[in-house]
Structure 1
């Protein structure tokens, strides 16, 4: 099935979700952000815990899927980005998706390996920049490209002024696809192979899938719909927050990563807005651009709390159309529903 499950962190898409998506014919994707946060040794040695968790979750996802391909999403903004990429290659991840920043050195970090690489881009301009840089410096073209539009959940590669309701209406995902395909075409000719375009951001229904594929995408990337599945690795309270969200609850927030993000409004985010969640230290050191002295809150702790269902101390990232989700289903049923096109 032409469905790629978006990598969602912290701990939302681990081995259960990713393994079951691949088992049912899509491509399951682990999130590479603080994967070891539940491990006993995490507080003493987070790097070691994260490396072990990556290996464990990849192995388990492979077992669940029947040894089908499994990907991992690694944010360029992570402090340990390069090390996590190397660990993923060593562990045998099939494909790395890299966004939240420009993955300009990804070919260097994965050279002489069997791991495929796919940058996540937000526009034709960024596609052109990465394609040109990779070819000029490494004579490498991406194995795939993910175009993530402005309706996506989590961190967004857009400026706040591009995320107003008026601007969102002006840049629907299907209309963004042809321009990116034009940038890809010359590099397909250079390497003599197809470079699939995966498009995502706000895709919620089978009709969304159909329109995206008809616009020229080879596959779709879907995140929020997979949160509301029995197999998703998040706590039930996290999933229920998605199911119960109204359209008015979904908002753009300021992330300590330096990027706007889309999340579901809750009391924790109200406290953030009121300046009541200022961190006193940096216990996780997860993001390069985050300075706890100026950060509005500790995103690492907030997302770990959210994953565990502690929404008094955390929150839920979501896509713009998550309010359309009305129930928790299974991965198999969801994928059959999405492919009813």
Structure 2
């Protein structure tokens, strides 16, 4: 795409040189190495706080304490790598002890907090008095209206940025199984229509943000996520009125990504028919790579579950598997017995590259 179309991503007084955010991927896929490299290259690097302390020796005995220590460790390390780049964290609103994670990130000096997987109703309260920017993640105009109204009424503020995660994204998805049925049935015509319809949804979300931005005399940039991996797709997102894009899957198969090499190779080997819509233990649909683990889950096989208090509304007595265990096994390299979340276009990844190469492939090489 043309260089004049590439403008910095401004979030209040915070500025990233390039309009690209690397999405937060847990457990342990996007930590300080990946996030720091993306920020140093001019984008916004994002650390996922989901069970972030899994690598620490105290994780098994006290997962919360280990996770909060790791939040601080990883933000500090990422900022050292980033120079004057922008570092964010992704904290799921469904996280147990959500406030504690937010406060740990604020104390560690993070620049922006992105929060989805539920509505972060009280996030403005938790960061009050700090310079941290806050960005809810939504998938619909309805969700955007709800969170903006809640923050307006209860906290007298509006988001600093909004991330719109579309149906091509990886991991947990903000859509019902019915809405995702075209992907389950691999119906290309219905998928194309859904994506065309979703363009209008994005425009509606942008209008909501513009309305609340005018009320609070600020610009609320909207960043679009899900399946954006070429300059043409970036250009399309910007043409809808977005201020930038978020990408996750393309950054996994990079030298800088924090995941085990086996995890990266699983992305490179994946074909389009290996990508499935699955149901996570907490009931949300997700997208991942088909493997022996998911086949066992489909057969109803249930292993031993040791709860580490990761998500609200998760009952260890009834869940089919522990999502923490499954994600940790995968990120550590046991890709046949773990859960490998991915985006819809994982089959496009052919080799290990670098963060700068990925950004060039998404924004156009002349723009980095």
TM range (shorter): over 0.9
Give unpaired runs (5+ residues) of structure 2: 1-17
Cα deviation 1:163-209 (Å, max 9, x = unaligned): 12255333325333211111111111111111000000111222211
The answer to whether 1:31 aligns with 2:55 is no
- Residue 315 of structure 1: how far off its partner (Å): 2.2
User: What secondary structure does 2:115 align onto?
Assistant: strand
1:299 counterpart = 2:323:
yes
| 3-state DSSP of counterpart to 1:261 | strand
Which one is further off, 240-249 or 41-50? 41-50
Structure 2 residue 345 is the aligned partner of structure 1 residue 321: yes
CA distance in 1, matches of 2:235, 2:282: 33
Match of 2:288 in 1: 263
The reply to whether residue 171 of structure 1 matches residue 171 of structure 2 is: no
The alignment status of 1:139 with 2:162, answered yes or no, reads: no
Q: How large is the RMSD of aligned CA atoms in angstroms?
A: 1.3
From 159, 167, 173, the equivalent of 1:150 is 167
SS at 1:120 equivalent: strand
| Residues 279, 295 of structure 1: 8 Å contact kept | no
Assess if the C-alpha contact under 8 Å between 1:198 and 1:220 holds in 2.
yes
2:240 maps to which residue?
215
State the match for 1:290 in structure 2: 314
Alpha-carbon separation, structure 2, partners of 1:159 and 1:311: 27
* 2:61 counterpart (40, 44, 68): 44
CA apart distance, 1:93: 1.0
Mean alpha-carbon deviation: is it higher for 49-58 or for 18-27? 49-58
Aligned residues: 340
Instruction: Measure how far apart 1:282 and its partner are.
Output: 3.3
After superposition, residues 187-266 of structure 1 pair within 5 angstroms as: 187-266=212-291
> What does the per-residue CA deviation read over 1:91-144, in whole Å, with 9 as the maximum and x for residues that have no partner?
111110000011111111111111110000001111011111110111110000
Deviation by residue 1:206-243 (Cα, 9 ceiling, x = unmatched): 22111111111100010000001110000011111111
| In structure 1, distance between residues paired with 2:242 and 2:152 | 22
Paired residues for 1:100-139 under 5 Å: 100-139=117-156
Following superposition, the deviation at residue 279 of structure 1 comes to 4.5
So what's the TM-score if we normalise by structure 1? Answer: 0.97
Q: Distance in 2 between matches of 1:68 and 1:8?
A: 19
CA distances 1:140-166 after superposition (whole Å, capped 9, x unpaired): 100000000011000001000101225
Report the more deviating stretch, 183-192 or 229-238.
183-192
Which among 32, 35, 60 is matched to residue 15 of structure 1?
Answer: 32
Q: Please, which of 350, 353, 356 is the counterpart of residue 332 of structure 1?
A: 356
Normalised TM-score (structure 2): 0.90
